[in-house]
Amino acid sequence: MTIRGKPTSLDIAHLAGVSQPTVSRALRGSPMVNEETRKRILAIAEQLNYKVDKNASGLRRQHAGTLALLLFEDPTPDESHINPFFFPMLGSITRACARHGQDLLISFQQFSDDWHAEYGDSHKADGLILLGYGDYLAHQGKLTKLVEQGTPFVRWGAVMPDQPGLSIGCDNVGGGRQAGEHLGALGRRQVAFLGDASNHYPEFLDRFAGCDAGLRSAGGTGLDRALQVDAESAEDSGFAAATALLERGLPFDAVFAASDLIAIGAMHALQARGLRIPEDVAIVGFDDIPAARIATPALTTVVQDTIRAGELLVEALVRLVNCEPAESTRLETTLVVRRSSGALP
């Protein structure tokens, strides 16, 4: 490529095979650009003797003062299509935006939509907050695209090495360990796991791994894959998973569900077959949604700090928008003991 006159960021973008916004972010040291891409861009800029036009870059950084919250639809028995786990987090995000002087644009999306292109290439908002569970491997490419086009974003989800962008999540392994140690201490040895424990759902996989470790530390043999049934975070999915588990004919004395919705659905299925909770089967969930407290019996569960999560999502995104350092954060969990696991609260 022959460059005539003073080199521009567009020239660097062409040579590096990235977008112009990615070049701008790399030159400003934004964490939204991975290290390999940043080094490639800096090397090309040095070769071209490129100098940043600070006046022009200042004009381009005019902010809209608006953050966009993309809420991905979840399967629900009503028309809300919102996982109740996210309700307190939504309130926290709204209050945090107000404290930071940001307006909040809320948009409902489906994972199959081209939301990454619509918001990444528009000026509707300065950055994106992504909320919703789904097949991580299926939408990982869209997250990578957001990074490549320089769109500031932060998502609620598992914190993983080499992930595209930043995420705020809970210590899923630690929470699973708390559940496993609790059930093991109660003498439960044949523990079933309901949830998709694969790389498609890394939060569920971490909870499976944590529970397995917790059971072993309590003197048990860990989780048996023969007692694992895939399930999405929905009551009807939990009901179907527990039914499938019963039909396998294998003995089990406890269930650790990857979410409260799965756990509540499983409770209904087990009770419909005449099993007593917790006398015959102890049950532990994950999330502590409001329905967990009024379930029959009340559900023992792992609590995630949704209020702090909402605050951190906004704080991290504001820092990214302002081209300041930000990092992923993993929040601690706590176990709330109720009647469903067979222990006195």
pLDDT digits (tens, 9 = 90+) for 322-333: 888 889 999 999
Q: Is the dihedral of CA 112, 118, 124, 126 positive or negative?
A: positive
Query: Comparing 104-113, 156-165, 237-246, which segment has the lowest mean pLDDT?
Result: 104-113
Residue 111 confidence class, pLDDT cut points 50, 70, 90: low
pLDDT at 54 exceeding the cut of 50: no
pLDDT band at 61 (very low <50, low <70, confident <90, very high): low
- The three-class DSSP label of residue 104 is strand
Residue 187: closest CA among 342, 338, 334: 342
pLDDT category of residue 23 using cuts at 50, 70 and 90? confident
Of 17-21, 60-64, 178-182, 284-288, least confident by mean pLDDT is 60-64
Whole-number pLDDT of residue 60 = 47
CATH of region 172-304+335-341? 3.40.50.2300
Name the CA radius of gyration of the chain, rounded: 23
59 has a pLDDT exceeding 60: no
Q: Which of 163-167, 196-200, 309-313 has the lowest mean pLDDT?
A: 163-167
List pLDDT tens digits, range 174-212. Answer: 999 999 999 999 999 999 999 999 999 999 999 999 999
Instruction: At 178, list the tokens.
Output: 């708390």
Which residue, among 191, 193, 189, has the nearest Cα to 201 in the 3D structure? 193
Q: Say what the pLDDT of residue 300 is.
A: 98
Q: Are 224 and 248 in contact (CB under 8 A)?
A: no
Q: Are 178 and 212 in contact (CB under 8 A)?
A: no
What pTM did the predictor assign? 0.80
Lowest mean pLDDT among 86-95, 122-131, 243-252: 122-131
Q: Quote the CA–CA distance of 237 and 272 in Å, as a whole number.
A: 15
Residues 269, 238: Cα–Cα separation, whole Å: 8
Mean per-residue pLDDT for 275-285?
97
Which of residues 237 and 83 earns the better pLDDT score? 237
The H or E element spanning position 102 is none
Q: pLDDT exceeding 90 applies to what percent of the chain?
A: 60
- Amino acid, single-letter form, for residue 148: E
Whether 191 contacts 211, CB under 8 Å = yes
Which listed CATH number (1.20.58.1610, 3.40.630.30, 3.40.50.150, 3.40.50.2300) goes with 66-169+306-331? Answer: 3.40.50.2300
Domains 9-52 and 66-169+306-331 share a fold: no
Task: Let me know: does 212 contact 197? Beta carbons within 8 Å.
Answer: no
Mean pLDDT across the stretch 73-91?
A: 76
SS3 of residue 63 by DSSP:
coil
CATH of domain 9-52: 1.10.260.40
Q: What is the pLDDT of residue 114?
A: 62
Q: What type of residue is 138?
A: A
At 138, list the tokens: 């299926």
Q: Name 191's bridge partners.
A: 254
Q: Average pLDDT over the chain, rounded to whole?
A: 87
How far is C-alpha 264 from the chain's CA centre?
21
Helix (H, G, I), strand (E, B) or coil at 110: coil
Please provide the distance, in angstroms rounded to a whole number, between the alpha carbons at the two ends of the chain. 71
Backbone dihedral region for residue 249 (phi beyond 0: left; psi -120 to 50: alpha; all else: beta): left
**Listed residue (326, 320, 334) closest to 170, CA to CA:** 334
List, as own/partner pairs, every contact residues 292-296 make where C-beta atoms lie below 8 angstroms and the sequence separation is at least 24, other chains included: 292/260, 292/263, 292/264, 292/338, 293/338, 295/264, 295/267, 295/340, 296/267
Helices 20-27, 9-16: crossing angle, 10 deg rounding: 110
pLDDT at 34 over 90: no
275: DSSP letter: -
**pLDDT single digits (tens) 5-18:** 778 878 888 888 88
Domains of the chain, by residue range, sit at 9-52, 66-169+306-331, 172-304+335-341
Q: Residue 276: CA atoms inside 13 Å, Cβ hemisphere, count?
A: 3
Quote the CA–CA distance of 217 and 195 in Å, as a whole number: 22
